[in-house]
A and B are shown apart, each in its own frame.
Chain A
């Protein structure tokens, strides 16, 4: 297999071949510092404001995806094999404005204009859906684009107009991309400092074995911030986003297998199909930009006590596979989290697969994310509940929580208390959670609030599942969640 030492991507109609770059050079630095292409802005350098949004066309398997991503935390090397679009690219022939731009002007969608390039790019990516978007879709499309001036109304109106008329497709770049797309390994740099992007599992594992001190990353929605905010030196980066085995999504009648580098957005269809609460949770996770880059594998591997997917996965009984050149092992996800900051993963192991059993007939599922803000916020409490109910009684339950301890964790005492109880009886037992957890107490939420709301959310699930109660329990009813 051939190996390359330069990354290649298309930008402004020209092929960029770059050999000399810092592994942590961001796409935003490439644009603003290297290219003096200053249309793309920096508002936060941490993936939260969207001012830096660019669109990237890249192949994933057979599919050509156009993805809005945050240039501020995307490493330049991840552009290999793709086409990069920024706000300056949108003007069409003869200086005609793209429908998104024209609609933004018509609706007075920019005031100070600093968020605007990012907003234009998010909407531009959306127009590639090639169908009119409704308000809810546009709110979702823009959840990662903060605007402090307009109050969003004119931007949403512009989005409605633009998606009604724009006909964009990523397909037209297939040929361009095929020119630079190869299965070749990429290693730019030297032994001491490199950006590596292997394309198959075996070479990945070999590389990791040789460099156990290297930093693995997929979406860099965490790792990017280590660079931009924490001043961590990251001389050796290994990108998982080209490893084909890690990008696979396999579904059978009983389970769903997600490769360790599958992005949220790609997982969303199959994962969200397990239950509409999961669909809504994934939709609320980060923003479009974060979901296009970030992965469930990363959400697990970072060991965070407040990651959104672990409680769901634990409640579903998911397991994960860790592989190194020494071999592979599969363990229940809940055993992976040992204590705060400590996971059951050796330095040379890569999380290669997440195995998610589907719900059986007797299982009922609910998950809730509680955060200060509805969209694009880190949860204060995350819950995943799976109840096996037979003859009106809870025979088994898995009640998993985030934000309630140093790791994502099951409420085993409460699970025991609920066993054999009817749903109504169970409602009065939710206070048992205080025997399971000593919640976190921080600027997102107090320990008290976390405990009270965790109990209430369990109660909410039980009330919803009990047949008698047909009263409204949610601001956004389950029926209103669309996949």
Chain B
């Protein structure tokens, strides 16, 4: 459909639930009316990181007020596994403890408070075993969850030896808790025949359905998973919400009662995985302008106690360690380390951010070693024409707009003048130092596991001309529902308000992929459009018959059907169509074309296209304490032709702040016993309103739209903006370089402590 005929798509429509959210009417799972006889489930946790349970005395738990039953591993009727792929995540530990906090039993009680209280009364004896907590411990002991993997091209050893300049470096990259405001929650209602209706706050209803069915030992058809909305997901509810649904379902099966489980915030943080910590080491050769000649990069990923999605996450880190830069001779090594900590999982960017951060550190390092502005180094390394346009995994960067986008941002942010001002400021100031940085993002869109790039939708047109829309995507705040509804409304030329967005459920659209990899609108938007267009085709044919015209002359616009000079209200057409026995319901199915991946060679076209963006950050640091302030941020981001610019802007701003938080104040600290010490918002600090930049300019890149054939030539926007936050880390690095005159030992997150220690590392004392 040409843009001129679009009425809803491209409009800055409000989030589908905006009004309900601001009035408190939007219901999340814990807000649903509780069914009669509801029991509350709560997990009991292991208090060591590694070892065996020798004895477990649950008598005090069972005797606690309100306790109805206990769930032990032997009570699981089917498979004791809630892993996404590898079968290595027990719902309840079978006696071997692999991380601190692991579930060892669960309680069912009349109230949640009673269940929580009882769950901590267990007396457990353990035989402790050696625990690997840090990357270093796991790496030096070759403790891995999956085999090492490499990709690259050229003879890096030779090319490094030939390089004009060469340096080595190391960067530790911290993890990140999702801190979705709504923690994990599931409520399960048993039905007849052993069926279970599962309300689960999940990005992956299909997987939760499979896990619940498998742990109960019933066919998939016996389990329906339903989710209207989540209070945030960010990847944390992709593979790790099933465990809670399973526990509730097992409880429901045992008792015949509905069961709810909702984790306390601290437990949510202790019991569920996070963004992977990484350590990046590089050996890079470059010419005198900073253009990379060869690079050898090792990425150590801390996966935790099980594989979860770590294989794909570490792959994506590797595939993004080029970011927007051409690496002529390159070797990327990845290790997937097993530690005795919670299993790390998907988090917005899915490993990509760690890869991008690694290469951005290389850029900063090269710049400081040559004594030139890092932006110049970045520019000379960008992907370019033939010969400089293939990734380390041999995909052609066919849609490279990074140079143009950066040029525009450099101008609009007044980068060069501000660079001069920063130099001047630093000359005048001893105690405060400024840093400025521009960093780009190029992010590959598609699941790297090719088979996951599929989606289904179900569209019904009812007799009054209202539309029921359902698809496999889940709504976690990202605005997917409204975007897809906009697409469907335009298929029929009707107002958005006539499209009812219904809860995602495995009973309507089966075998779905998770809402992840930024793919929600790309996949589900297409599937819904295919379904809607199918019905529209039938209606068009019917209308053509009514007015003795050709099907191609029928247009749907302004809530009407127009055929030549004839006009008919959409509702009237629908009524007539039903009377004439035209089917007004259709499924739609979409799979992303073109993509493929060869695991053996580490090459292929894993991505349908790339999304681009760039950010400029200016920061000031306080050299007494390492505290800092983000003075100004300018962002230019590419969303193709936006489906909904308001929603997209929200994703960009929110993603940026989340990325900034990851690299600044959000610090996960484990002690040497493997206990997470920062397991609450009192100790784990995500950005507040005050942390946002004083000046914050966000613009959408005005280009020719997506060169790949996506839904109305839009681009995915969920994940890429997170990496814009790297500009803040890079600016902090720059501020320290400006103070000390050399590359500091500054790891992520750059907490005030880290910044102060970096200044001292560079011998800059106040």
Residues of A participating in the B interface, judged by any CB pair closer than 8 Å: 32, 36, 38-46, 48-49, 51, 86-88, 90-91, 97, 100-101, 104-105, 108-117, 120, 138-140, 142-143, 145-156, 229, 231, 368, 370, 372-378, 380, 442-446, 448-449, 452-453, 456-457, 459-460, 463, 471-476
Contacts and interface: CB of A to CB of B under 8 A. Distances in A.
Contacts of B28: 41, 114
A321 to B, nearest CB: 31
Interface in B307-337: none
**Contact-residue bracket for chain B:** 35 or more
B27 A148 contact: no
B658 A151 contact: yes
A473 B430 CA distance: 8
Contact of A152 (B264, B685, B692): B692
Contacts of A463: 431
Given A148-B181, A445-B753, A471-B429, 7 more contacts: A36-B33, A43-B231, A91-B23, A112-B476, A113-B21, A375-B688, A473-B624
B627 interface: yes
B650 interface: yes
Contacts of B654: 111, 148-151
A209 to B, nearest CB: 31
Contacts of A40: 24
Contacts of B756: 449, 452-453, 456
Contact of A138 (B14, B232, B667, B689): B689
Interface in B630-668: 646-647, 649-650, 653-658, 665, 667
B22 A104 contact: yes
B626 interface: yes
Interface stretch (B457-465, B505-513, B517-525, B676-684): B676-684
B624 A457 contact: yes
A410 B232 CA distance: 45
A394 to B, nearest CB: 20
A154 B430 CA distance: 36
Given A38-B27, A375-B688, A114 B182 contact: yes
B690 A475 contact: no
A472 B683 contact: no
Contacts of A148: 178-181, 232, 234, 654, 658, 686
Contact of A475 (B14, B229, B428, B432): B432
A251 B21 CA distance: 45
Interface string B275-298: 000000000000000000000000
A105 B18 contact: yes
Contact of A86 (B24, B233, B622): B24
Nearest to B685: A373
Given A44-B681, A148-B232, A473-B624, A116 B690 contact: no
A87 B266 CA distance: 26
B681 A46 contact: yes
B14 A105 contact: yes
A449 B266 CA distance: 27
Contacts of B86: none
A378 B220 CA distance: 48
Tell me what chain B mostly uses at the interface: helix, strand, loop, or mixed: loop
B120 interface: yes
Ordered nearest first, which 6 A-B pairs have the shortest CB separation? Answer: A39-B24, A112-B477, A114-B231, A113-B21, A151-B657, A38-B31
Contacts of A100: 22
Contact of B689 (A87, A113, A155, A443): A155
Contacts of A108: 12, 14-15, 18, 646-647, 649-650
A156 B669 CA distance: 31
A118 to B, nearest CB: 9
Interface string B182-196: 110000000000000
A46 B682 contact: yes
B656 A113 contact: no
B629 interface: yes
Tell me what chain A mostly uses at the interface: helix, strand, loop, or mixed: loop
B30 A38 contact: yes
Interface in B238-273: 264-266
B620 interface: yes
B680 A46 contact: yes
B680 A44 contact: yes
A143 B687 CA distance: 9
Nearest to B269: A44
Contacts of A376: 688
B45 to A, nearest CB: 13
A90 B474 CA distance: 29
Contacts of A139: 688-690, 692
A444 B753 CA distance: 9
Nearest to B181: A114
Contacts of B688: 139, 142-143, 145-146, 152, 373-376
A111 B477 contact: yes
B19 interface: yes
A475 B628 contact: yes
Interface in B3-40: 12, 14-15, 17-28, 30-31, 33
Given A48-B682, A473-B431, A231 B626 contact: no
A449 B760 CA distance: 11
B124 interface: no
B665 A373 contact: yes
A105 B19 contact: yes
B653 A151 contact: yes
26 contacts: A46-B681, A49-B181, A104-B18, A105-B14, A108-B646, A108-B649, A110-B21, A111-B15, A111-B479, A112-B229, A139-B688, A139-B689, A146-B181, A146-B681, A146-B688, A148-B654, A151-B656, A154-B650, A372-B665, A378-B683, A449-B757, A456-B624, A456-B766, A457-B625, A472-B431, A475-B628
A185 B159 CA distance: 84
A156 B657 CA distance: 14
Interface-central residue, A39, A231, A375, by most chain B CB under 10 Å:
A39
Contacts of B478: 111
B232 A149 contact: yes
A445 B677 CA distance: 12
Contact of B650 (A38, A87, A149): A149
B752 interface: yes
Nearest to B112: A33
A143 B234 contact: no
A446 B624 contact: no
B22 A443 contact: no
Contacts of A143: 688-690
Contact of A452 (B265, B649, B687, B760): B760
Given A45-B265, A372-B665, A373-B665, A151 B692 contact: yes
A153 B646 CA distance: 12
Interface-central residue, B20, B230, B628, B689, by most chain A CB under 10 Å:
B689
Interface string B450-480: 0000000000000000000000000011110
A112 B625 contact: no
A51 B21 CA distance: 12
